[in-house]
Structure 1
């Protein structure tokens, strides 16, 4: 009878775990970028950042800034006093995504279709909702909180954007 031991050494086990880690490290970023490349989701994130940028600009420069809707796929930032464009103040949505609705709430009443938002010199804005939609009929709602300065994203079914798969 042979007295040899069969089994896995610590070195072999470590090498297998290292290979699994390396392969996962290569596969997961590709999978993540593929999942996050949805035009509707990325447009919603870009639009939320653009709105935050408008509030920050108004606060930093202590002047009112206007966000203006220019068609179904473009938003512009303008100086509210003279209407001149702000540098880097254009956001164009991809062809697959449209800005289908733009509603503001002032004095307790909802005003639909109003094509602008006004950011005060302190960065405040009236409560508003912007609705993005894509060719497949999916919708993404962006809600602006007036005093908190936050933009929340909600999917068509009402689930918060962060909780969605």
Structure 2
């Protein structure tokens, strides 16, 4: 369980894999917190400075997907792109699968088994990836953070990584 609390010495939680991974299929089964103002995230960071947001889910029904490049020095410029998907049902009502198929040429994002976005990378994103699960409180995350978010959690039921 990843828990986010305001008023403590921290306002987010982050878990990262000890191992790193290349191409393959990454899928987490999550249930997002049932409050606005909390970002529920499943993402990858790569050794070549890319951030791949498999899902940044926000109550009640929004998921943001993105690909970001964070330069290691001020010599390069940050670059990124992102998309949003809004669903009819409230995502906190049950568990949902969020996933990414990573190949040398493409990133394909999926939710509940259905592909919803794809990005041709042409081999530009090839560093080994660390898997991250996190929550963060902020008014930017879909609404004002409630005064007492401490019992509202993102739950992770499973995380699977499949080799290509």
After TM superposition, the score normalised by the length of structure 1 is 0.27
* Higher relative contact order (CA closer than 8 Å, sequence separation 6+): 2
Task: Considering fraction of residues, name the structure with more strand.
Answer: 2
After TM superposition, the score normalised by the length of structure 2 is 0.27
Task: Considering fraction of residues, name the structure with more helix.
Answer: 1
Largest Rg, 1 or 2: 1
